[in-house]
Structure 1
Amino acid sequence: MSVAGVIVDDRGRALLIKRRDNGHWEPPGGVVEAGETLPEALQREVLEETGIKIELPATLTGIYKNMTGLIVSLVFRCRAIEGQPTTGDETKALRWVTRDEAAELADEAYAIRVQDALDTMTPPAVRAHDGVRLI
């Protein structure tokens, strides 16, 4: 299981990271460690990858399944409460993006996660990796 945080600024943009390992743009996140709660994992991953501490609780905006890796990912809309966006060991670059820019930069599976988080009127989505809505 993994968690990802879509940090949204006061202009309605989301913060994406460019990963060092594969060069892909996506929201910050990662695998939940043994003994860790989902909020703890979310806050840890976002802080490690962006330098930003987020407010908890965060709003669940979607549940996604990576069909290749068989990983379920919970994505949360987040608000920054402390820190400035900075790169780190896992992060090559950071960028604030609009809904449309997310679709241009990120792979479809990650762009959908960001777009769902930015669409505040949409109920939580459950999607497969290829973008097909499961329920």
Structure 2
Amino acid sequence: MPIDRPHSVSVAGVVIDDAGRALLIQRRDNGHWEPPGGVVEAGETIPDALQREVLEETGVKIALPASLTGVYKNMTRLIVSLVFRCEAADGSPATGPETRAWRWAARDEVDELASEAYAIRVLDAMDTMNPPAVRAHDGVRLI
């Protein structure tokens, strides 16, 4: 089956606070709640992209290394996302050009805020007992 465009790779960081809550952002472009992240740029390492994206979208600098908690493929948009559990090293959450709002979400709040395809990323990162998850979705629902 021919592919008319290549896959892209993105990273997302699920920053966990001392109370076990995850830092979620509400995107300015579509209003969706999700963990901060974005596309890995050409010439950029995965850890550098992770640190840059979390800082750009939250104002929080994360400690490296971060733990890989899942690999997710958007089958519709051909995006492979690497999701990491992160710890804040410096800074305080803030809004910015890409972020309308932010909040610390407890495990039971994640499903209420985020679509299934993004909530599972956060929940997988909150569950440190499992090996990294490998999942596929259509942009909204798991498949």
Same topology, TM > 0.5: yes
- What does residue 120 of structure 1 align with? 128
Deviation per CA, 1:22-53, whole angstroms, max 9, x where unpaired? Answer: 00000000000000000000000000000000
- What does residue 7 of structure 1 align with? 15
Given candidates 110, 131, 135, the residue that maps to 2:142 is 131
- What does residue 95 of structure 2 align with? 87
Q: TM-score, normalised by structure 1?
A: 0.96
Q: 1:69 deviation in Å?
A: 0.4
- What does residue 57 of structure 1 align with? 65
Counterparts of 2:116 and 2:70, CA distance in 1: 15
Q: Identity of paired residues, percent?
A: 77
- What does residue 118 of structure 2 align with? 110
- What does residue 29 of structure 1 align with? 37
Alignment of 1:43 with 2:54, yes or no, is no
Q: 1:13 deviation in Å?
A: 0.3
Q: For 2:44, give the aligned amino acid.
A: E
Where does structure 1 lack aligned partners over 5 or more consecutive residues? none
Moved segments of 4+, more than 4 Å: none
CA RMSD across the alignment:
0.6
Counterparts of 2:79 and 2:21, CA distance in 1: 27
Q: How many residues align?
A: 132
Where does structure 2 lack aligned partners over 5 or more consecutive residues? 1-8
Does the residue aligned with 1:109 lie in a helix, a strand or coil?
A: helix
